Structure 1
Amino acid sequence: MSGFSSELIDYLEGRISFEEFEIRREERKAKLKVTIPVKSLLYANYPPLLSLPADPEEGISPSVQKAFEEEDSEEERKLNRENKKMMKERRNRSKLPRALRGLMGEANIRYARGDKEDAVLMCMEIIRQAPLAYEPFSTLAMIYEDQGDMEKSLQFGLIAAHLNPSDCEEWVKLADMSLEQDNIRQAIICYTKAIKYDPSNVRYLWERCSLYEQVGEHKQSMDGYRRILNLLPPTDGEHFMQLSRDMAKSYYESSDLPSAMGVMEEALRRHPELVTDESINMAAELYIANHQHGKALQVGVCVCVSFIDLCVCVFPDHVPVDIRVKLMVCLIHQHVYRPLDSMLTSLMEQSPEELGDLYLDVAEAFLDEGEYNSALPLLSALVCSERYNLAVVWLRHAECLKALGHMEVAVKSYSKVVQMAPLHLEARLCLSTLQQQLGRPLCALKALEPMYDPDTLAQDASAAQQELKLLLHRSTLLRSQGRLDDYLDSMLTMLAMLLKVAMTRAQVCVRASMWSGVRHLRLVKVSKDLVSDIDDQEAAYQDISGKTSVLSREDWWLLLVRCVCTLCEMKRFKEAELLVDSSLEFYSFYDVKVKRKELEFFGLSAAFLDHNYRKAYDYIRLTLMEKQEWPMLWNVFNQVTLHSQDVRHHRFCLRLMMKNPDNHALCVLSGHNALVSGSFKHALGQYVQAFRSKPDEPLYSLCVGLTFFHMASQKFVVKRHPLILQGFSFLWRYVELRGHCQESMYNLGRALQQMGLAHLAIHYYHKALSFPPLTLEVYTTDTPRHSLLPQGSQLPSSYTRGIYYRYTSPFTITTRLSASLL
């Protein structure tokens, strides 16, 4: 077995199939072809001694020496020819050594006498000594075939055929045996080997093409048929034409129109005398399908139609009606309408039950060219028939009526299409549009009802894409009708398709619940145990890619923004938060920084409106770490911290203050935090820093003065009076900067009351009540503007005085002041 190649040993031991054996054998041959030129290059630098130029011998003239050289070269050429002839003879000759030929003959005699076991042993011995001889393998194949072991017979037969590849009949026999074992691929290889040594055999090519068609390799099959066409003699024209038509039909079914037209053109060119109506019909149909109506018209005109000034056309009686209809289609697309009157009359005389497909071809040609009045009678005849009362015909009928402006009748036709084909999306959309134009909003919504159930949407990606388009139009219609709850249902359904994986990570799901007696969808937060894990993440992301092909990422972003805004408009702030959380888990939105920041702003607004201040703090904290210079953000931060009743923002402000010591808003907020925490000296330092940067700001003077008062109000304090004096000096500075108004008088009174100067505090409370209230212009969606304290501007001063008099004054004064508040 030492002479066996590795792939042959693997094949004999059953580790690889014959197809794999053939592939590995070809690869080994290719490697050998590469190594041989490499060896020749290695020896190129060392030319043989015979090729070295010899010195001319003394005493011999150059002419005589040249004659001898020519005679030698002629002898060398003869020797080369003889060597090639001998090598060719040896190639066809058996590789069995003479010493083993007797043993091979004895094995054949034993096999003929029925002593098969001895014959097998002898063949095995011959294979051991001469592994490249095909005779023992061939004998073993016959022995196993007689024993009924077809698998081993085929195996040894394939080895014998490889060792003697020029025997085409043996390859064909092996191909038949492979087909009996349902091994089509192996049969194709056998026929390929046979064709290699007999390339002009049409039968081999035909059988291999048939096998290629069985395994679905259309290109290889068509290439084989093309070789058959080239091999067919000119006298076999009928066969050539039939094969060309079959090939053109196969190319057409595989949407390869150029190849189909090329085959038919070649057939018409080589055998014009054998052109039949079937060939003309097929060629014209191919040209029409490829929108080459001029060529299709030429094919028909040259054979069966004569034109007189393109106004009168005369058909011979033998011309089939389908060819006439194709010529009519070509004339319509060429905008030649005058000859069509008689042709249409002749067609309409035929029954639509029998020629309905031809009716439809002519009608579609009229529709393509905008001739709706001409197409309508044909389509009306088809929809009234029994055989062609189909959804596609009703759809063309509806499109024609819509183009002509017959809306009511078009609605009936579209309704018929939806009834017969409920999954036809375009028909539903057109029907809804027409119903909306006719002032029937409920009917328009009914046309856009869901087409698929949830299970189908979860399994079928194409169905999900169709449903997505339907929901998009439905949401637009609901928004225009002001039905916001139903509009949100459609929006949440669409976004749930896109954010399926993101919602799973965010532990958010869409659930149906009753709301005011009507069932609507709601976004809810669920525990991790109730969230269904997505097993195939890759398939889920491919499904998302399919949905992004329906809408671009920017369109999805606009849908998300509209949904969040509508949820806030409907006071569904908690659901807006959950939708933002899910969107932040979606990579396509989170990866774009602008969109991520906008989502964070949406989340901040929704959380604040939902009174979820802890979550709002998380959003505003992230924003402030990047944008410390925006005063609006600090105002929002202050509002969030005021409502959160939490002190964790103190450390955040201190850490941020260390990184940005010159930030003015951060300085003031740190002072407020220190004042609330009781660190008056730290608060005083922050306020003084703010006061020095902006000394004309009344607020900072007020804060410094109040801080001095708080320090003076402590139980154990040194130099209490200087603190009070400094506090009053800053308060008076505040009054001067702010001016005499209700606010300044009230704050001054409260400070005096805190220090126990009740008579002075009452005086300033009276003065506060004597000033008109300040107004703050705020624009809202309800009213154009309103005051800061409408109708109750005197409430703080009056209420404070009432409480103070309750403990320091007679009961009547307290009652009178409290009554003024009612």
Structure 2
Amino acid sequence: MEIEDSNEPHSTLQCRRQLSNGIVLQIDNDGGFICPSKQTFEPIFAPSSNNNRPSSSRRNHNLTIDNLLGQAVIVAARGDTTNAIQILHEVIRQDPRKADGYLQLAEVYEDQDDIIKSFEYRLLGCLVSPKTSANEWDITGDLALAVDRLEDAAACFTKASRVDRKNWTYYEKRIKVYERLGMITEVMKTKLMAAQFVDCEKENFDFEWLQQLITETSNHFYDHADAGRMLYALRIIVQRSKQYGKEYGSQLEALTNSYLESQDYHRTVQCILGFCEGIRAIDDKGNTVYEVLEDYSIKPYPFAAQIIQFEMSDTFPTSMICRLIVCFLSIDMVFPAKLLIDVLLIRPVDTTVIDSYILIAESLLHKNADEEGLTYTHKLLSEAPNLAAVWFLQGCFHHNLKNLDDSLFSYYKTLELQDDHIDARINISSILQFRGDLKAALDILHDYNLDKCTHLPDERLLIQQVDIFKEQKNKKQYACVIRMILVPYFYELLKQQESILIGQKRKKSQFCSSLRRLAYQKIDKSPFKAFVKRLGVATEMSQNVFRSLTSRELFDYTVKLVEALWEEENYTEMFHVLCFAALHKQIPEINFEALEQLLILSSSRSKNFDFAFEIIRSGIKQMVFYTKDLAKLPKATLSIGFVVAQYQNDAILKFFHRVAELNPDNSNFVMLSANASLVTGYYKSALCKYIFLSNLSFFFL
């Protein structure tokens, strides 16, 4: 496992370098050289290839090249450098991929004290050979420093450190160059790589030196909010601690927990199996499924053979068993997960990691492993009976298996331990609704905040609650319930994103594809979208979806939510709700004109002026070029004037000028164009248009 040298798309390390012989090299973000394939290494001559020659011809060709190289050495020794250079140019012409010609040219130029050419030909010699040693790259880097080519020097030392990863000297030189360039992030990345690969015993470094190096890089990446490299630094300290025989249990716990929280299940599995002792995965032939490498990664991964058994010592941490089970369930390796669950159930419950136990039960619920989930939760509750979350999950398993009485018992037990457990109340209300006890189903949810629920109550109950909260004038819960009613319908939009964005414009709708894309961009990272997605996914997984609303009813509930948000002055969510409504297949067909006006209002109030401009512009275009119905044009121009007073860009100004040119008799458009010219500083143009408007007004008078 290796950290990337750089992942910055615009790193200052990236540069182009034209050598004195005309060849252009580019240093990429990883500190390596790129030589464009269409160039030759000697622009004076055309390169030739000997790949297609017969073997005897290749032997003769190689012999010729060797003779020329020997002749060049003799001629150069006699002091005839001009002829020696010509001979070496001929060598390069005949075999441009042979490094010896470049390296001898570099030596000739070095003898002539032409350090720049010596460096450039040595650099080319290193580049053309895949077998260039770390020492040769190091020498080339030193030459680059001598001619003050710092970027080239950094790239050379990078190459050297990749060839010989355990040599601290190359990292040290690379760090010093980056420090001279002021590239602190690259310095820290190099130090982190050195901490991982350097042979400390050979370099006579102790563990404290390593610890200080990693701490320094970790602090830097923490300050720059680079979570990925912070985790990598943590992995390196675990790796080095294990190599030195130091204690690393707490760091490994933190590392695996961080991977698990970020849902990086594959890396969590590799980390646990690589670093933890006392566990072996066995295949059907009795062989170990994986081997642990020098850096404590495992190979092969994914596993090439099926795991049929785990051999585990009693000292293997229970927390790691729990994390392995969650990971295996999440990556669809159900059988190994069940093997580990059997091992876990034999052990006494470790209450210090009870959250990990609960996470296993939740994973079993998501996998619809209801029988296994019941067995598992029964074991937990037999030793830790006061866990409300486990009682709730046991109720969910019973519920899925249609054991409604048992599920009600578990849900009520959950409420005894945690009265405000809203998900348990929702599930109880669903069962009571199913049994026809509507009053009890409503009472169980009465006066409880539904904002924290993880799945939706029955739609019929929600519809009943809308009227109840309206009568009680409970505005917060009123809006919350309407949100939940709309979730399943709006969640369909998220599953049909592509068809929504490229769909054809509907007859009653002016919502063209560009507006649909802009609307989707606006809701993309909104809290309302996250709310819809969270509850929509959970409800779909539980297969508890009941949709009975007609298009008209859906529109009415959308308007009710918009009114509630308007009263709360929550204009941003109001705008996002209306974007969802405008993207819906059915809602715009009911009353697009009202929806359009609400969108203009909400986008202006929420300061999404670019969207407000686009929807007004679309309406003006429709009126002027297609319907020719100009009755609403004054109102539209007044609205767009308000938007432009708050927000301008080049596209808006160009639109005003273009529409004024196409409609020179329309004073509204000319006025907008004049105002746009005034805003951008084109005062002469603005003055001419204002004079034109004044003359036009005088003419009509």
Pairwise TM-score range, normalised by the shorter structure: 0.3 to 0.5
| Rg larger for | 1
Q: Name the TM-score, length of structure 2 as normaliser.
A: 0.41
Higher relative contact order (CA 8 A, sep 6+): 2
Query: Would you tell me which structure has more helix in proportion to its own residues?
Result: 1
